[in-house]
Amino acid sequence: MCEIQQKLKSVLIAQGASLVGFADLRPVWKGSLKTGVSVALPLPREVVRSLPNGPVPRYYDAYCRLNGRLDRIVTAGAEYLKAEGYHAFAQTAGAVNESEDYRTELPHKTVATRSGLGWIGKCALLVTPEYGSAVRLSSILTDAPVRCGVPIAQSRCGSCTAGADVCPGKAVSGKVWSAGVDRNDFFNPYACRKAARALARERIQREITLCGRCIAACPYTKRYLAEK
């Protein structure tokens, strides 16, 4: 790991990052900044344990709080890189636009899989070995020279149906993700959004796409919950 990479990782961890990965984006991204830095924060265990039946107020609070923390972390990382003479762009919530079909130009999940932090599960969430799908993500784009991680290009979900079994929108086809497979080929984001928003209205009186049932059901998440 080169010096700039070590220092950047130290900055991100000092700001509170739990997972940091470095990605070569050249095969998947046409933008000028070809290196991605993936940052992840886990949902607190007590919040995840409250989700089997859908969102609760503490989940909404944690969701907003972690998104704010991630914005601060990636902004600090980008500012550090700029101060060192590199170009950098923090993909904060305010800087990333979602299209009508619920896509962003360069998803945080793509940066994360390319950096080796995890894979895409059957519910179209990033799954990490450490925290399962109980993570929030952000990312930085840069031209700083770093040693990138080994991309994860295949799902490790196998024949698991845990997420599909609890999905209120029946949005999970059961097909397995691999790099290059379009999200809509294995997951229905429209059915997910409709059901999640209805559940959020019912349970937390919020007009937001927030559910969490598949997060709580994921076997990798349950491993995280079982740790002391």
**Model confidence pLDDT, tens digit, residues 121-177:** 999 999 999 999 999 999 999 999 999 999 999 999 999 999 999 999 999 999 999
Q: What is the pLDDT of residues 55-96, one digit of tens each?
A: 999 999 999 999 999 999 999 999 999 999 999 999 999 999
How many distinct structural domains can be found in the chain? 1
The residues pairing with 19 across neighbouring beta strands, listed in sequence order, are: 40
The residues pairing with 135 across neighbouring beta strands, listed in sequence order, are: 42
Percent of the chain's residues with pLDDT above 70: 99
pLDDT number for residue 2: 86
Instruction: Please provide the distance, in angstroms rounded to a whole number, between the alpha carbons at the two ends of the chain.
Output: 31
Do 77 and 4 contact (CB within 8 A), yes or no? Answer: no
What is the dihedral angle through the alpha carbons of 130, 143, 147, 151, rounded to the nearest 10 degrees? 50
Rounded Cα–Cα distance for residues 199 and 211 (Å): 7
Evaluate if residue 32 carries a pLDDT over 80: yes
Evaluate if residue 228 carries a pLDDT over 80: no
Residue 102 domain boundaries: 3-226
pTM above 0.85, yes or no: yes
